[in-house]
A and B are shown apart, each in its own frame.
Chain A
Amino acid sequence: MMPPDPASNHKPLIAITGATGGLGRAFAVECASRSWDLFLTDLAPAPLAILASSLETTYGISVVTHTCDLTDPSSRAQMFDRIRDESIRFWGLINVAGLDHEGPFFEQSDRQIRSILRLNIEATLGMIHELLPFRAPLTPFRIINVASLAAFYPMPVKATYAASKRFLLDFSLALREELRGLGATVTVLCPAGMPTTASCIAGIEAQGWMGQITTRDVGRVANQTLDAALAGRVIVIPGGVNRLLQILGGLAPASLVARIIFQRWTSARQKRNWISPAIPQVET
């Protein structure tokens, strides 16, 4: 494990989980371009090192990296031990790490279902709970949780995922009130599709024009979300069309929305299987 630059201990950091994925990277770059020092964590050490060294070179910031399997409580505990030992302080936390195994519930393994719950819910809550004591004094502590537009609807074939994001949405809104007195804010990001990986792009393609108009570039999403968090705003839904969908979705009965989504997905899957069958989707 790499010893941190001692200088970085003096300035509070922003922690980002899932930092080397598409959206995580965009958040990291956006923070770096604002000259904020970073604490980046993800599963694999090599991509973390590449990203960190590039951000340090380009933006002249300091970056601490820590490889961690967030679904593993002991791996998380090691990370928090290190934070304690090195007295690292934070003024923000961006919970990007999350995953989905798309497909009908009964076709999924117990392990797959558990990994969604572990990463999307347990790890996110663990990060917030364990990092709050290490927040920097005198500055507001900014928490950003990445949920999804899926948080607003029951979503067949993404049932566990969408419900886990719903959990994060409700949890964030409640926690926000509890933390007011501590000078901490909670912002929850609910994006629609973002073209981050080849399989995401294939998914957007399969949705046709709907995919086109609901998709937002990650750079813009990251920038807009950080501004919103600094302003203490509560929910960020990038894209006018997506905000409209969220409002319309709220007007219809949830059972009807679920039925429509299932029909759309079935036809999208038929199209997508033409291109490449059974794409495992991992969103970070």
Chain B
Amino acid sequence: MDNELHNHTYVVTGATSGIGLAAAEILVRRGAGVIGVGRSAERCKAVEAHLHHIHPDAPVHYLVADLSLQKNIHQVADEILNQLAGTGKPVLDGLLNNAGTFTYWMILTAEGIEMQWAVNHLAPFLLTHRLIPALQAAPLARVVTVSSGSHRHGWINWNDPQLRRCYNGLRAYGNTKLANILFTLEFNRRLGTGSAIRAFAANPGLVKTDIGMKGNPAIAGLVWKLRRSGGIPAEESARGIVYLLTEPSIQESTEVYWKHGIPQHASRRALDPAAATRLWVLSEKMCGLDGGNRHDAA
């Protein structure tokens, strides 16, 4: 236990299991304040208690939000900003966009958006937007989005980016992970050099978590079980991700895509600046951030 991140605050989404939970643990061990976001009140409560136990002095607070709905994202963003304001120091040092999901069948959210597109891509996009004021207040701030090696299977068809008309769960997943890198690329470009905020996309490697089993057909769960048996523990993967979130020396790095703390080649499609801009504009529209009427958080 140490306190080198004392006085630093990080938001971690999907912090109730897998990689997100492991990342929260590492941060708390190093004395950081963690605002965790999870979709289950019960799991949030249990994990919060567990983290308090690890480091009784680290300020830990969990918020419950199902990030598949933009209405909830606005609400949780308000809560986070309020919480930060309440500490007298409305500063956020990093946001870890980790919550992610895999859905075998096509599910539309209540807002009519394909589930993986909503949770894996639009949620990081919108939450990041909403937290920019607090991130900008930090001397050095990071936005790390957990992508995946599967981004290589991604190929965004601009006529049907959510694959509504020809859904395939794995391809849809790959598309969202490709979108994570394109988002990171465009975000950095828009921030420009010298910004206090720097964004990175992380490939966590193959990690032994339950992601492929939640709510999917038994056969898909079985395939995931076999595949993940060659994977690494979540703690190991989370170390590389926390590095991206906290390491001061890489602030000026122009690398976008990292695995275990080392820059990696992303696919050609992930580094296409025109696609990145196009995706940004589309995402703004889908989140009502383009000046049109937006959802009210209330």
Contacts and interface: CB of A to CB of B under 8 A. Distances in A.
Interface of A: 20, 22, 25-26, 28-30, 32-33, 47, 50-51, 53-58, 60, 195-196, 198, 201, 204-205, 212, 215, 217-220, 222-223
B218 A53 contact: no
B166 interface: yes
Contacts of B293: 53, 56-57
A26 B165 CA distance: 10
A205 B167 contact: no
Complex A-B, nearest 8 residue pairs according to Cβ-Cβ distance, in ascending order: A219-B164, A195-B105, A54-B111, A217-B106, A57-B288, A29-B112, A223-B165, A217-B167
Contacts of B218: 205
Contacts of A205: 217-218
What's the dominant secondary structure at chain B's contact region? loop
Interface string B48-85: 00000000000000000000011100000000000000
A51 B108 CA distance: 11
A22 B108 contact: yes
Interface string B144-183: 0000000000000000001111110000000000000000
B164 A54 contact: no
A29 B285 CA distance: 15
What's the dominant secondary structure at chain A's contact region? helix
Size category of the binding interface on chain B: 20 to 34
Interface of B: 69-71, 105-108, 110-114, 162-167, 215, 217-219, 285-288, 292-295
A57 B165 CA distance: 20
A219 B108 contact: yes
A230 to B, nearest CB: 15
Given A26-B164, A60-B292, 13 more contacts: A29-B108, A51-B110, A51-B111, A53-B295, A54-B112, A195-B107, A198-B215, A217-B167, A219-B108, A219-B114, A219-B165, A222-B164, A223-B164
Nearest to B70: A54
B219 A212 contact: yes
A54 B114 contact: no
A215 B110 contact: no
Contact of B110 (A47, A196, A217): A47
A54 B293 CA distance: 10
A223 B162 CA distance: 13
B286 A57 contact: yes
A55 B112 contact: yes
Contacts of A218: 106, 108
B108 A58 contact: no
Contact of B167 (A20, A60, A219): A219
Contacts of A47: 110
